[in-house]
Amino acid sequence: MFIKETLILPDWTTKWNVDIDIAIIWLRDVYEKSISKAYIVTWDGDYNSLIDFWIEKQIFWKAILPGIRNSSKLLTKSAKKQILDIIPLQKKLQKENPGNKS
């Protein structure tokens, strides 16, 4: 798993620019053959070419999306049927937990 440190700018906003870092790390892992399955949690279409690469290498497992309607069309096109939308899962879990007030 890769978690990148973010930058806090002088105006206290957060800079999240991690796309290229994530892609390079995953490409390194594929090159070094240190992974057998790959998944990504995102809504960002910038990762569709990475998913296409994983499909080509036969290691793509899932794209986990925080809401398919708010996700990039390029991303959903690349991931095709290998998408897990967490919004319906979240709603199902909330129904199954009677103590949950949200």
Task: Annotate 36-91 with DSSP letters as a single string.
Answer: S-EEEE---GGGHHHHHHHHHTT-EEEEEES-GGGS-HHHHHHHTT-EEEHHHHHH
Question: Which 8-state DSSP code applies to residue 8?
Answer: E
* Res 58: pLDDT: 92
* Res 56: pLDDT: 92
**pTM (two decimals):** 0.67
Residues of the chain with pLDDT > 70: what percent? 87
- Mean pLDDT for the stretch of residues 44-69: 88
| CATH fold for domain 7-96 | Rossmann fold (3.40.50)
How far apart (Å, rounded) are the C-alpha atoms in residues 72 and 64? 12
* Res 95: pLDDT: 80
pLDDT greater than 60 at residue 2:
no
